[in-house]
């Protein structure tokens, strides 16, 4: 399943779903023209209200990330919005990949790496600072 929301994170579930779609596009896991799972299917698999999934899909459509086709479903838009966020993501991915590979070389497992990243982000106060102030 594409989506793995964390109800305990404090971030609204629909925002988490949106962020996960954007991340999947940025990393190439989802490509333009690809179909997203249906609203009902996502809601059933994640045991959540279908309105939450629908809200995420509507917001993604508003942002130009996906296209909703009546009777056909949701598809990744052929033309993705460009700008600073897309540029930063493209530059950040190699840094993150290298860090993950280094941590794996130390023998850390995926869940340990995730906890380290999340803990460090919390320690640095990433939720309340700008990206440039994490240094």
- Domain end, chosen from 39, 60, 76, is at 76
Give the residue-averaged pLDDT of 67-91.
Answer: 78
Residue 2 lies in a domain: no
Give the model's pLDDT for residue 83: 61
| DSSP H/E element including 73 | strand 73-76
Give the residue-averaged pLDDT of 118-133.
Answer: 67
56-65 long-range contacts, CB within 8 A, separation 24+: 56/13, 56/14, 56/15, 56/17, 56/18, 56/21, 59/14, 59/18, 60/18, 60/21, 60/22, 65/18, 65/21, 65/22, 65/25
Q: Are residues 21 and 64 in the same domain?
A: yes
pLDDT of 43 over the 90 cut:
yes
Chain CA centroid to CA 31, Å: 14
What's the pLDDT band for 10 if we cut at 50, 70, 90?
A: confident
Give the residue-averaged pLDDT of 6-22.
Answer: 90
Q: How many angstroms separate the most distant Cα atoms in the chain?
A: 49
What's the pLDDT band for 89 if we cut at 50, 70, 90?
A: low
- Which residue range(s) make up the domain with 111? 84-127
What's the pLDDT band for 56 if we cut at 50, 70, 90?
A: very high
Q: Are residues 94 and 64 in the same domain?
A: no
Give the residue-averaged pLDDT of 18-25.
Answer: 91
Mean pLDDT over all residues of the chain?
84
Give the model's pLDDT for residue 135: 45
Q: Are residues 68 and 21 in the same domain?
A: yes
Q: Are residues 11 and 45 in the same domain?
A: yes
Crossing angle of the two packed helices 39-46 and 50-62, in degrees rounded to 10: 130
């Amino acid at each position: 399943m594409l989506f793995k929301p964390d109800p305990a994170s404090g971030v609204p579930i629909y925002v988490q779903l949106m962020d996960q779609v954007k991340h999947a596009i940025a990393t190439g896991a989802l490509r333009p023209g690809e179909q997203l799972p249906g609203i009902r299917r996502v809601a059933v698999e994640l045991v959540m209200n279908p309105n939450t999934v629908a809200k995420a899909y509507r917001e993604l459509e508003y942002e130009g990330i996906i296209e909703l086709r009546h009777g056909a479903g949701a598809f990744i838009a052929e033309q993705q919005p460009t700008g600073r966020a897309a540029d930063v993501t493209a530059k950040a991915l190699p840094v993150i990949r290298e860090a993950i590979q280094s941590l794996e070389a130390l023998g850390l497992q995926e869940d340990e790496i995730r906890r380290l990243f999340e803990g460090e982000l919390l320690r640095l106060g990433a939720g309340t600072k700008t990206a440039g102030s994490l240094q």
